[in-house]
A and B are shown apart, each in its own frame.
Chain A
Amino acid sequence: MLLEVEDLAVTFRDDREVRAVDGVSFAVDAREVVGLVGESGCGKSVTSLALIGLLANQNTRRVRVEGRASFDGLDLLRADARTLRDIRGREIAMIFQDPLSSLNPVVPIGVQVAEVLIRHRGASKPEAMRRAAELLERVGIPDPTRRLKEYAHQLSGGMQQRALIAMAVACRPRLLIADEPTTALDVTIQAQILELLKELVREDGTAMIMITHDLGVVAGLCDSVNVLYAGRVVESAGRHSLFGRPVHPYTVGLLRSIPRLDEDRGARLTPIRGSVRDVLPWAQGCAFAPRCDRAIEECLAGPPPLAGVAHTYRCVNPEALP
Chain B
Amino acid sequence: MTEPTPMLTPEGQPAASPDLEPPPLQAPEVRTRGWQALTPRGRKQRLDRLAELAAVHADEKGRSLWAEAFRRLRRNPAAVIGAVILLLFVLVALIGPFFVPYSPTSTEWADQVKEGQNIIPGPSAEHWFGLDHNGRDEFSRVIVGARQTLLVGVVATTLGLTVGCLIGGLAGAAYGLGGRRGRQIDNFMMRIIDMLLAMPSLLLAVSVAALLGPSLITVMIAVGVISVPVFARLLRGSMISQAHAEYVTAATALGVRRGKVAIGHVLPNSLAPVLVQATLTLATAIIEAAALSFLGLGNPDPAVPEWGVMLTDALTRLEVAPRLTVYPAIGIIITAFGFTLLGEAMRESLDPKLRR
Contacts and interface: CB of A to CB of B under 8 A. Distances in A.
Contact of B254 (A59, A116, A153): A116
A130 B183 CA distance: 39
Interface string A151-166: 1011111110000100
A108 to B, nearest CB: 6
Given A89-B253, A89-B255, A164-B250, A106 B12 contact: no
Given A107-B265, A214-B16, A216-B15, A93 B47 contact: no
B66 A186 contact: no
Nearest to A220: B18
B54 A142 contact: yes
B248 to A, nearest CB: 8
Given A142-B54, A220-B19, A189 B253 contact: no
A118 to B, nearest CB: 9
A188 B66 contact: no
Interface stretch (B109-117, B141-149, B256-264, B290-298): B256-264
A199 interface: yes
B352 to A, nearest CB: 10
Interface in A35-52: 52
A293 interface: no
A189 B180 CA distance: 41
Contacts of A154: 1, 60, 62-63
A261 B21 CA distance: 13
Nearest to A60: B244
Contacts of B247: 101-105
Contacts of B17: 216, 219-220
Contacts of A74: none
A88 B47 contact: no
A218 B249 CA distance: 25
A189 B256 contact: no
Contacts, number: 168
Contacts of B50: 140, 142
Nearest to B10: A188
A317 interface: no
Interface stretch (B34-42, B72-80, B319-327, B333-341): B34-42
B252 A108 contact: no
Interface residues of B, number: 57
A79 interface: no
B43 A190 contact: no
A106 B268 contact: yes
B61 A149 contact: yes
Interface in A245-296: 261
Interface string A108-119: 100110011001
A88 B252 contact: yes
A127 interface: no
A140 B39 CA distance: 12
B16 A216 contact: yes
Contacts of B47: 137, 140, 142
B255 A186 contact: no
Nearest to A152: B247
Contacts of A112: 251
Interface of B: 1-4, 6-7, 9, 11-19, 37-40, 43, 46-47, 50-51, 54-55, 58, 60-66, 177, 179-180, 183, 244-247, 249-257, 260, 264-265, 268-269
Given A107-B264, A186-B3, 9 more contacts: A85-B255, A88-B255, A94-B253, A106-B64, A115-B260, A116-B256, A187-B12, A191-B15, A220-B18
Interface of A: 52, 54, 56-60, 85-90, 93-94, 96, 98, 101-108, 111-112, 115-116, 119-120, 137, 140, 142-143, 146, 149-151, 153-159, 164, 167-168, 182, 186-192, 194-195, 198-199, 214, 216-217, 219-221, 261
5 contacts: A106-B269, A119-B255, A191-B11, A191-B18, A261-B13
